[in-house]
A and B are shown apart, each in its own frame.
Chain A
Amino acid sequence: MLAAASALGGCSFTGTLAPRGPDAQIAANLWWYMFWLGTAIFVGWLVLFIVAMRRRQPADADPDAERRLHRRFIIGGGIVLPCLAFATLFALDLWGINALPQGDDVVVEATGYQFWWEFAYRDPQLVTANELYIPTGTDVEVRLHTEDVIHSFWVPQLSGKRDMIPGRTNTLTLHATEPGRYLGECTEFCGIQHANMRFEVVAVPPAEYEAWHERMARPATEPSTAAQQRGYEAFMNASCAGCHAIRGTSADGEIGPPLTHFASRRWLGAGAAPNDRGHLAGWIVNAQTLKPGNAMPPMEIDAEDLSALLDYLQSLE
């Protein structure tokens, strides 16, 4: 399985420590405050503790004075110190919660499946998978649903995570300040392929986003060569169409990710492999090799049909 590594652009690491949105920024700031506070407390206590271990109380020390000293230690360290830390942290907590973005300029319905993601947009309506386009500088409300078990939606560079729970709809606001590709992950253990349930958030400037949205809302490209035509027929005649939808054709399966503009996606199988011809061929012949335990069965398909099918799928820009 290859990496979602190139998703990072020039960055050397992903995650909480490289925030690209206000929500993640708040968490990162909080982390650094707490890191320094925690380090100060740990080091301070440790020094005290080491001194305590090294020093030697004179044998004739006055027991009453000792008792007073003990009390001072315990009240100072056990009550006063945590009170101060507590007040600081509580303030940080409230500030953090209130500073989170809340808007819904764009709304996306995200649904978790074992083990991939569906993203539905409105005006115009469209359904896609495993890649979430959002406009930069905009509050995007993501409504979280699940088709099966509990999943959790997390884009560390943009925001904290939120669970997708049967029978409930949680929401989360994504806001990217910079264009880029950001790694998204499922963070609730959801079965055998929980590890390979990734997605990509692609943040682009609003104009580009509009263009993308408009393009994605169109039906799939018609086959234009003989090979693509043969691939198209193979798709419809093999069991593919039973599980996958391609808008503008009779394929309307709902078990697997929709493939209408599949060729425009960078990854295969929710981050299991890059979307190139070689991996795609391997995926179709036996998706269980790349991602053991996922719901797509191995396909019986002869070499020529496979090649034609690849031609067709790769034409679905």
Chain B
Amino acid sequence: MSILDPTADSPQQVRQRLTETWSDPYGTPGFFSTVDHKRVGHRYLVTSFVFFLLGGVEALLMRTQLATPDAAVLNPDLYNRMLTMHGTTMFFLFLGTIIAAWGNYIIPLAIGARDMAYPRMNALSYWVFLFAGIFLYASFFVGAIPDGGWFAYVPLTTDYSAGLAMDFWALGVVFVGISSTVGAINFIVTVFKMRAPGMTMSRLPLVVWSTLTTSFMILLSFPAITLAPLLMAFDRIVGTHFFDAALGGDPLLWQHLFWFWGHPIVYVVFLPPIGWLYMIIPTFTGRPIAGYNWAVAATVATGFISFGVWVHHMFATGLPDVTASFFSVASLGVSFPTAVAFFVFTATLWTARRIRWTAAMLWAVGALVSFVIGGISGVMVAIMPFDWQAHDTYFVVAHLHYVLVAGNVLPMFAAFHYWLPKVTGWMLDERLGKTSFWVTTIGLHVLFFPQHWLGLVGMPRRVYTYPAGLGWDVANLASTVGGYMFAAGVLIAMGNFFVSWRRRAPAGSNPWGAGTLEWATTSPVAPYNFAQIPEVHDRYPLWTLDGDVVDDPVGIAPQPGGVVLADEHHETLETVGLDARLGGVLAMPGPSYWPFWTAAATFLCFFGFLIQNPITLTLGLVAVAATLIGWHHGHLTGGEH
């Protein structure tokens, strides 16, 4: 183990050399070859947010069409395409990737690591995500926007959908899935091997627990969403009959596979956001989270139960009542861990000495309160005789948006207001942050609350229009107004970003007085994250240590148990066991172009499959093989230690 002699150099010299060791090449080469989890995290954040905006524009177009009965803003064909792309974008390109975005940025910092376990795979998962997004949206430019619904039920999407539209969808979805799977493996290994010494599993920040849980869920559920669209693509392109009832296939197979992925994924996209709230709320109450073990148990339990409930999306398909009842009960079971989580928050606030009402805290609390409504309507639709009425109506549209928007989007903004100072080094404007919170959240309720009513009075979902005179007009108009309000709130939050960027009020390393390790480093974070990897003795190290010392490579020698790594090597610590004993020193790979080229080659494969051109497909496969060989070779000889 290379341990630096702490007396030899000044802290400045050590930092200087660390920076040189860990920095990417300057400019374009650095841009394409970086494997730094922070830069990858930035990209994920920006890309994922851009898709959020695209999905949002699609949603607003739909809401405009539905504002009044018999409207002609979008024709039925275009409406259905917007419907499909809205759902697909939000699920595959935003909800699932925004968690990877914050995960990438925050997880290594929160566990005191210098990078993810596999930095190059990390870069790969981003590039694959980007290329997959481009692939899906390329459909707009060739006039083949997917139109079979984001859930793509067969046989509408196989035998009854001509052209490339659903090929784009099926292949695009498989493509994004690769990114999520690669990312999940990386998170798991990172959490198990890269924690700072002494960070036992019971000292793990809760956001890390939730990311760990969801990573396992992704590994278990994504095979289904890879297999199903591949079978669909084969049915469509090659002419197989996996889903064709007339020839021995089964259309319900699609639904089982789809929801076997689709239900766990709902929990995958809100567990990490709940994890963000687990970080934010203790900070602004100045107290550790109450019932840490309960929170961990609830997180893990949600992960398990989520695999036993997918059939509640299929109650109307006519499954035997006994089978269906099992899933109904399992769905009710989810209410336990969710309730535990909510009372963990309530108890934490109950014993707070003083709550600081920052914008981040407002967003967090607003998310919790709104989310409860989605939780309650979720329990309702688990009851079959009621679900047979509510299913596929606007009631479910209201329910799922409460869960997803309050469970992911509002926490995303909470995280944005909380961690952005760490990312950029400057503070966001608090007043604008609060204004955007109120506008967005009130918008959310005006948008979605009336939709419960619409469903109850019989409005089906996924309709491009509705007739006047059914009593649906007022609620629809209100909902559209809410939609615009929500959008205005998002615009204010974006405005805040640009205004604060110009102002650049310095953040300092720990502006909120938080207790977890990501706040121990400089803001913005230096390329090497931590000059000295801290040793951890409790859940909120910075509340017991003096925050700034951790960034000081030599100043506090010897910090109890702290390890100083040689600054001229690209290295980090490896720890072993659940109690994070010091394992050894890991040489970390440096910048590489191979992840980018591998993703590009994968794009070529999918493109070849799409246009049914065997030559392109073969070329793509060869290219993938070549890049992987290059990657491996580069790894052995690429100037690493």
Contact = CB atoms under 8 A, between A and B. Distances in A.
Interface in A173-218: 183, 185-196
Interface in B348-372: 348-355, 365, 368-369, 372
A73 B333 CA distance: 19
Contacts of B368: 49
Given A1-B465, A70-B351, A192 B77 contact: yes
A3 B369 CA distance: 38
Given A5-B470, A27-B386, A74-B344, A16 B155 contact: no
A189 B149 contact: yes
Interface stretch (B55-63, B246-254, B520-528): B246-254
B318 interface: yes
Given A57-B353, A78-B343, A93 B389 contact: no
Interface in B270-313: 290-291, 294, 298
Nearest to A4: B467
A69 B351 contact: yes
Contacts of B390: 16
Contacts of A97: 321, 325, 384-385
Label chain B's interface by main secondary structure.
Answer: helix
Contacts of B80: 189, 191-192, 194
Contacts of B376: 38, 41-42
A192 B353 CA distance: 58
Contacts of A76: 343
Interface in B201-259: 245-246, 250-252
Given A26-B385, A190-B156, A13 B457 contact: yes
A74 B385 contact: no
A17 B456 contact: yes
Given A149-B155, A162-B318, A170-B318, A42 B372 contact: yes
A61 B351 contact: yes
Interface string A283-299: 00000000011000000
Q: Could you say which of B318, B382, B461 has the most chain A C-beta atoms within 10 Å of its C-beta?
A: B318
A82 interface: yes
B332 interface: yes
A226 interface: no
- The number of chain A residues touching the other chain, given as a range, is 35 or more
Interface residues of B, number: 87
B316 A292 contact: no
B557 interface: no
B495 interface: no
B470 to A, nearest CB: 6
A100 interface: yes
B373 A195 contact: no
Nearest to B328: A93
B463 A45 contact: no
Contacts of B387: 160
Contacts of B373: 42
Contacts of A185: 458, 460
A52 B345 CA distance: 10
Given A12-B471, A73-B350, A149-B155, A165 B392 contact: no
Given A27-B385, A168-B252, A192-B80, 12 more contacts: A14-B458, A45-B372, A59-B353, A70-B348, A74-B291, A89-B379, A162-B316, A162-B388, A167-B246, A168-B318, A170-B318, A194-B464
Interface of A: 1-6, 8, 12-17, 23-24, 26-27, 30-31, 34, 38, 41-42, 45-46, 48-49, 51-53, 55-57, 59, 61, 66, 69-71, 73-74, 76-79, 81-82, 85-86, 89-90, 92-94, 96-97, 100, 114, 144, 148-150, 152, 154, 156, 159-163, 165-168, 170-171, 183, 185-196, 271, 292-293
24 contacts: A1-B467, A3-B468, A13-B458, A14-B470, A27-B388, A34-B379, A42-B373, A56-B353, A56-B354, A73-B347, A73-B350, A76-B343, A77-B343, A79-B339, A149-B156, A150-B251, A156-B458, A162-B316, A168-B318, A189-B151, A189-B156, A190-B156, A192-B76, A292-B76
